[in-house]
Amino acid sequence: MLLPGFGEEGQRKLLASNALVLGCGALGTVVANMLARAGVGRLVIVDRDFIEITNLQRQVLFDEQDVADAIPKAEAAKRRLARINSQVKVTAIVDDINHSNIEKFATGADVLVDGLDNFETRYLANDCAVKLGLPYVYGGAVGTVGAAFTILPHTTGGDAPWETSDGAGATPCLRCLFDEAPPPGLSPTCDTVGVIGPAVSIVANFQVAETLKILTGNLDRVCPTMLNIDLWTNTIYQLKVGRAYDDGDCLCCKHRKFEFLEGKAGSSAVTLCGRDAVQLTHRQGGGKLDFDDIAARLRHHGAVTANEFMIRAGITHNDKPYELTLFPDGRAIVKGTSEGSVARSVYAKYVGT
Ligand SMILES: [Zn+2]
């Protein structure tokens, strides 16, 4: 409240606002932690994953007990945040973020904050932000480098608080900056090069600062350039970025074609960053899985653990060991491979299509 440009009014605005945190891994835990401490009144945290021991190096809301208890990340974050600031309302959603649900998650949100680990879902978030006219605070980190950029998208009527009727004030969107996602295998991932905690923390805290500016209405303070930082070579750049919108060739923010949101781009098998694992989702969602039935079947193949959130089974397939984790909605994570085809094969054999 003592900060100029913030004040009691700014604090009240935070209390009345709602931030959607997409992903609750390295970036997302830092973001959620700081937003809750700052007094953002409502946080919606979406994450599909469980906590592993190697996550603790950088995922600041979790501890060894969470790993032992097999608590989903979003739920563990919610429990921790309740002890940090009991007045913040936290909604934990344990689910994959995909084209069929992201708009539902964004309902009522004032800002989308990126805690994601893959570009496909980032393009989906970008589509959603542009379509709904919501700010999207992009962030990413791998190895010793990180990047962040705040997207204040064009809206159809030019009626967003950051935009004038001629489109001035809106920033490039993610597809203005990178038209296509980098092909798999061509960009470094946490799998191949690791990541140091400080790279994540710096990027995430930059995102938090941007989010606080947005939520308190300090839009003139939003950073117009893209942060690029490498903690190993000691370089920090602020890159000027141009709007493809102005040349008329951004599919998303100029032509308002939302390929990822419409399910026309992207796949249903996603290799998980740093996990040697593949997640499978089914575009045509069916009913809930019968956990008892499936657990009984899987026990024939190896050790099975189950709770209300998941079933986990050790499985040998083609003489190779895999760990299969199933969720009530039919989503699966197959650990032991980074190939979608192998994961689909394991799923088809032990769960069925
Ligand atoms: Zn664009």
Per-residue pLDDT reduced to its tens digit, 196-228: 999 999 999 999 999 999 999 999 999 999 999
- In 3D space, the residue among 309, 278, 272 whose CA is nearest the CA of residue 93 turns out to be 309
Instruction: State residue 248's pLDDT score.
Output: 67
In this prediction, residue 344 carries a pLDDT of: 75
Looking at residue 214, its pLDDT comes to 98
Is residue 180 pLDDT above 80, yes or no?
no
| SS (HEC) of 262-321 | CCCCCCCEEEECCCCEEEECCCCCCCCCCHHHHHHHHCCCCCEEECCCCEEEEEEECCEE
How far does residue 339's CA lie from ligand 1's centre (Å)?
31
Distance 315 CA to ligand 1 centre (A): 44
Are the beta carbons of 228 and 255 closer than 8 angstroms? no
Q: Give the distance (Å) from ligand 1 centre to CA of residue 36.
A: 31
Q: Which of 57, 120, 46 is nearest to 90 (CA)?
A: 46
- pLDDT > 80? residue 288: no
What's the CA-to-centroid distance between 181 and ligand 1, angstroms?
Answer: 14
287: number of Cβ within 10 Å: 8
250: CA distance to ligand 1 center in Å? 5
Round to whole Å and give the CA distance between 45 and 28.
Answer: 8
pLDDT of residue 186: 47
Tokens matching residue 17: 């606002």
Confidence of residue 283 (pLDDT cuts 50, 70, 90): very low
How far apart are the CA of 352 and the centre of ligand 1, in A? 40
Q: What is the mean pLDDT of residues 1-6?
A: 89
Arithmetic mean of pLDDT, 93-116: 94
Q: Is the pLDDT of residue 64 over 70?
A: yes
Whether the pLDDT of residue 195 is over 80: the answer is: yes
The segment with the largest mean pLDDT, out of 71-80, 153-162, 304-313, is 71-80
**C-alpha–C-alpha distance, residues 113 and 149, integer Å:** 11
Q: Is the pLDDT of residue 183 over 80?
A: no
Model confidence at 26: pLDDT above 60: yes
The Å distance, Cα 248 to ligand 1 centre, comes to 9
Res 266 pLDDT > 70: no
pLDDT digits (tens, 9 = 90+) for 244-261: 666 668 999 989 999 999
DSSP designation for 34: H
Largest CA distance in the chain: 65
Which residue would you say has higher pLDDT here, 94 or 284? 94
CA 70 / ligand 1 centre spacing (Å): 40
Q: What is the pTM of this model?
A: 0.82
Residue positions annotated with a catalytic role: 190
Residue-averaged pLDDT of the chain: 88
